[in-house]
Amino acid sequence: MREKTGRKKSRIMGPDDANIAGNVHGGTVLKMIEEAGAIISTRHCNTRPGERCVAALARVERTDFLSPMCIGEVAHVSAEISYTSKHSVEVQVNVESENILNGAKRLTNKATLWYVPLSLNNVHKVLEVPPIQFVGKEQEEEGRRRYEEQKMERMETKERNGDIILPVINPDRQRKEPYTVGYSQSSLIHLVGPSDCTMLGFVHGGVTMKLMDEVAGIVAARHCKTNIVTASVDAINFHEKIKKGSVVTVSGRMTFTSNKSMEIEVFVDVDPFVTDTQERYRAVSAFFTYVSLSPEGRPLPVPQLVVETEEERRRFEEGKGRYLQSKAKRQAKLQPLTQQ
């Protein structure tokens, strides 16, 4: 048996959730996904008597935005636990959008998240996860394979530390050439308040992802000056907690453009003013891919990124590698369908 949420969570999308063209922000969807994951995993990890805990988001697998969601539609978010290791929980979340005027439903996202239970008495103590019962041996094996795979990937992709982007608070864009990295590079600064935080006083993963998507969206809009939407987010590892009262600087820069997509690298740097150690640290970084849309909602060609330095050239080539790899994976997934 797989663990399921008793009911789906549903919410009607309003203007606050969307851009000026009426498309719901990728960040809003990511936040809803994370909330559903946090609820089911925290609930599951507290099913045994003993120490109480809160499940913290440790990782989100690569997430694709399959179709747009619009103001007035209802988002249905459902979550189920698909694997448990000794100290982590894998949650699968599906998001469907429903047009309540005609009942039509579309799958907009499928996401996989990993949570780790942290003791309510000691935020640094990782607790054991009650195991789930699998329907069969095959499901268990598949789950273990996914667990081993992400563990391996985590070891390989070290955090991109150093490389701090200076916040662009008063950008002198007049002096920058359009379509260069510097022209669209953007930052936002946020003071972490109680409503951003879990019961343990550190930021919800969904809040951080929403801020990251906001910055990536600003970079994309500055670059192409059209309506833009999130197409995908690469796997994100959350290595460090962000404490209430900290100031976070979220910075984004464009790394790569294909014909019709833009890759934006986003960093979250934290100034923990309220703790003893006040040194800035990098909490998380990720790559977001954006697409520019015509007023009719069709993908448009994007202006090509102008790279000016060796570093920018290197990042462009790395971005191209990621782009080609994910395109090949998408095509491989589609092939069996087209052959049917």
Residues labelled catalytic: 19, 213
Helical packing angle, 205-224 and 26-45, nearest 10°? 170
CB nearer to ligand COA: give 56 or 262.
56
Establish if 190 lies at the interface with ligand COA (CB under 6 A).
no
Whichever of 60 and 224 has its CB closer to ligand COA, that residue is 60
Determine which helix (DSSP H) or strand (DSSP E) holds 208, and give its type and residue range. Answer: helix 205-224
As measured in angstroms, the least distance from the Cβ of 147 to ligand COA is 7
Site string for ligand COA, 83-112 (x = CB under 6 A): --xxxx------------------------
From 301, 289, 160, 282, select the one nearest 216 (Cα to Cα). 289
- Both tokens of 190, joined, read 């946020």
Binding map of ligand COA across residues 219-248, x = CB under 6 A, - = no contact: ------------------xxxxxx------
Which of 56/216 has CB closer to ligand COA? 56
Choose one: 23-31, 184-192, 201-209, 223-231; the region binding ligand COA (CB under 6 A). 201-209
**Measured between alpha carbons, how far is 85 from 3 in angstroms, rounded to an integer?**
14
Stretch that binds ligand COA, among 5-13, 61-69, 150-158, 303-311 (CB under 6 A): 150-158
In the complex, the smallest distance separating the C-beta of residue 123 from ligand COA, rounded to whole angstroms, is: 8
Q: Is 137 in the site for ligand COA (CB under 6 A)?
A: no
Virtual torsion, Cα 213, 219, 225, 229, nearest 10 deg: -20
Distance (Å, whole) CA 7 – CA 21: 31
CA–chain centroid gap for 50, Å, is 32
Q: Which is nearer to ligand COA, 40 or 58 (CB)?
A: 58
Kindly state the smallest distance separating residue 93's Cβ from ligand COA, in Å.
15
Instruction: Choose which of 202, 267, 288, 316 interacts with ligand COA (CB under 6 A).
Output: 202
Q: Is 37 in the site for ligand COA (CB under 6 A)?
A: no
Rounded CA gap, 327 and 201, in Å? Answer: 39
229 touches 299 (CB < 8 A): no
CB of 47 to ligand COA, least distance (A): 17
> Token pair for residue 318?
């790395």
Element containing residue 96 per DSSP (H, E): strand 89-98
Show the binding pattern over residues 261-290: x = contacts ligand COA (CB under 6 A), - = does not.
------------------------------
Min. distance of Cβ 75 from ligand COA in angstroms? 22
Q: Which residues of 50-72 are buried (b: 16+ CB within 10 A; e: fewer)?
A: eeebbbbbbbbbbbebeebbebe
Q: Which of 52, 62, 146, 154 binds ligand COA (CB under 6 A)?
A: 154
Binding map of ligand COA across residues 42-81, x = CB under 6 A, - = no contact: --------------xxxx----------------------
CA angle 282/284/290 to nearest 5° reads 130
Q: If binding is defined by CB under 6 A, does position 31 make contact with ligand COA? A: no
- Element housing 115 (H / E): strand 105-119
Of 80, 83, 131, 137, nearest to 110 by C-alpha is 80
Q: Which of 31, 124, 19 is nearest to 71 (CA)?
A: 19
Would you say 33 or 203 has its CB closer to ligand COA?
Answer: 203
Contact 67, 108 (CB under 8 A): yes
Q: Which residues bind ligand COA (CB under 6 A)?
A: 56-59, 85-88, 114, 116, 118, 126, 150-151, 154, 202-203, 205, 208, 237-242
